[in-house]
Chains A and B, each alone.
Chain A
C-alpha cells in the first residue's frame, strides 16, 4: 500500500495536455476566431439601420438569391451523383477504379480559377460541349446554370469522400441478413443500407452546400457576373471592397457567415437525429 502515495498517471500519446491543447487553441484563434471576430466587429460598426439597407438593396438581394439558388441546385445534383459515385467506387471492381478514385480529388487540388476557365471553354457557345447545347436553346455560360455547374464541380468530392468510408465499413452481413429475410434489392438499399449512410451523406451534402455558398474562383469566369442576374454574393463583397466600401463588403460577408452558421446547426441536428440509434 506504500505505492498509493505515487499516483500512476495514464500515458498520453501527445506530450503534455496543456501544451497540446494550448497549441491547438492558439492556432484556432489565429486562423479562425480572430478573422471571424474582426468581421463581426466591422459589421457592428455599421449600425442596424445602415446594415439592413445594405443587405436589402436590390443588387445584394439578387446576389444572395443567385448564390443560394445555384448552391441548392449544385448540392441536389451532388447529393445524387456523389452518392452514386461513392457507391460505384466502393461496391464494384473494374479496371481503372484506382484512377477514377484519384480523379475524385482533382476538384480539391485544382486551383478553382483554372477549373472556372476550363468549364467556361467547354460550355461556351463554341466550346466542345456548348456547341451541342446552344442549338437546343440551352446556354450554360453566363447563366445561373453556369454558376451551379462551377459550384457542383468544386464541391462534389465532399459528398463522395464522406460517404465512401462509411459505405466501405458497412458489414455485408446486414445486406445478407435482409436478403435471407426476403427483402428485394431495392428494399435492402432503402431500408438497410441508406439509413446507415444517411448521417455521413447529410454531413457531406452540408459541407458541399457551405462550400458552394463560398465558392468564388471557379464561378467568376463562367458566370459573366451580370449584376442582378449572375452576380454571386462573394463577388459582390469583393466588388465593394475594390470600391473601398468596407462597410458594404463586411455586411454582405456577415450575411454569408450567418448562412454558414445556421447551416452547421441544422446539419448537426440532422446528423444527431440520423444517429439516434447509436450508443446507449
Chain B
C-alpha cells in the first residue's frame, strides 16, 4: 500500500498541530516518525488511522481517497501507546476480536479463526499466554498481544504509536529486533511514531523528523546525522554546541576553531551559526586558542571535557577515553569538528539566543 499525504493541516482550537505535511510512503516500507512531544507525529498517525480528521489536505492510499472512509473500512492495524487491550477478554479473544466482529457473511468459521489465532500466538512467541487476561501480563507481553490483535485482520497498513515507549531498555531492544522480523514476515507497510532516535534509526528504512507540525527532514540515519536540514534537526540530533562563526569561501572561521574537517558549504560569506555534537569534536593543544580546558570527568568509557572562552562561553566535548590525548587543565586547545552543520544566522528562527553557552540537558 502506498500512502500519499499532501498538505495536511490540523488545528486544535488556537494551536496548529500540523502545518502542511507532505509525505509519501512506499509499499512495504518501514518508516519512523521521529520528533519531540508536541511535534504532531501522533496526530498524523491518528489521521491515517481514521481516528482523527485534518482541517485540510489529502490522504490517498493506493489511489483511493481515505479521508471520507471511516476507520472501520480502512483495514489498518493500530497499536496504541498503552496497548488498549480489552481487559475483559483473554489474550486469545483479544487477538480474535477483529475477526469475530466481522459481519456474518464475511466472518471466517470458528475453526479458521482459532487456527489463525494459534498461528499468530506462535509468531508472537506467546502461545502459553493464550488464556490469560491482559491484567496478568507484563508490559512486553501486552505489547506482543497488541501487535497480534492488529495483525489478525491482515492490515493493509500497520501503525504503531510509541510502540516501546512504556517498556524498559532491555525489553525494548528485544522487541525492536523482533518487530523488524515481523515486518519482514508480513511485508505490510509500517509506520511508527517515536521520540527515541536510536529506536527510529535502528528500525526504520527511512526516518521522518518532525518538529512543531512540520516535516523537518526525511532520510536515513547517516543523512540525518551528517547533514541535518535545519537548526531544529541539528539540535534534536544532539548538536548542543552552537558557535557563532564567519563564513568565508564556504568554510566556517572562528578563533580557536579548525574547520578543515568539515566540507565546504555553498553558502554566501557572512555571519553564521555552527552546530556541533560534543562527541564529534577533536581537541589539539594550541596556545593561540582562546578555549581553555576548565574541567574534565570520566565515566569509564568517555571523558567529558569542558572548555571555556574568556567571555564565559562553554563548550562540552566528549572523547573516547582510550583514544583521547592527555588533557591538562588550564591548557588552551583548538576545536577540530569532525562533523557539523552550518546555517546562516538570518535563517535561524530561534536566533534570539545566538550564543547559547552550555546546555547541560542532553538527549
Please report A residues at the B interface, Cβ cutoff 8 Å: 171, 173-174, 176-184, 187, 191-192, 195-196, 277-280
Contact = CB atoms under 8 A, between A and B. Distances in A.
B49 interface: yes
22 contacts: A171-B84, A173-B84, A174-B86, A176-B49, A176-B71, A178-B97, A179-B51, A180-B77, A180-B150, A181-B101, A181-B149, A181-B152, A182-B75, A182-B101, A183-B101, A184-B101, A192-B86, A277-B87, A277-B134, A277-B135, A279-B135, A280-B136
B97 A183 contact: yes
Contact of A182 (B82, B89, B133, B153): B153
Contact of A176 (B84, B135, B149): B84
Interface of B: 49-51, 70-78, 80, 82, 84, 86-89, 97-98, 101-102, 133-136, 149-150, 152-153
Contacts of B89: 277
Given A182-B101, A280-B136, A196 B84 contact: no
Given A176-B80, A181-B149, A280-B135, A187 B101 contact: yes
Given A180-B51, A180-B77, A173 B82 contact: yes
Given A196-B87, A277-B89, 17 more contacts: A171-B84, A176-B49, A176-B51, A180-B50, A180-B76, A181-B152, A182-B73, A182-B153, A183-B97, A183-B98, A184-B72, A191-B97, A277-B87, A277-B88, A278-B133, A278-B135, A279-B135
A128 to B, nearest CB: 44
A183 B51 CA distance: 13
Contact of B133 (A177, A180, A277): A277
B80 A179 contact: no
Contact of B71 (A171, A174, A179, A278): A179
A92 to B, nearest CB: 19
B88 A196 contact: yes
Contact of A278 (B76, B82, B87, B153): B87
Nearest to A279: B135
A181 B153 CA distance: 7
Contacts of B88: 195-196, 277
B86 A183 contact: no
Contacts of B87: 196, 277-278
A191 B101 contact: yes
B133 A181 contact: no
B72 A176 contact: no
Nearest to B159: A180
Contacts of A279: 135
Contact of B49 (A180, A196, A280): A180
A168 B78 CA distance: 23
B78 A182 contact: no
Nearest to B79: A177
Given A184-B72, A278-B87, A178 B135 contact: no
Contacts of B136: 280
Contacts of B97: 178, 181, 183, 191
A125 B86 CA distance: 51
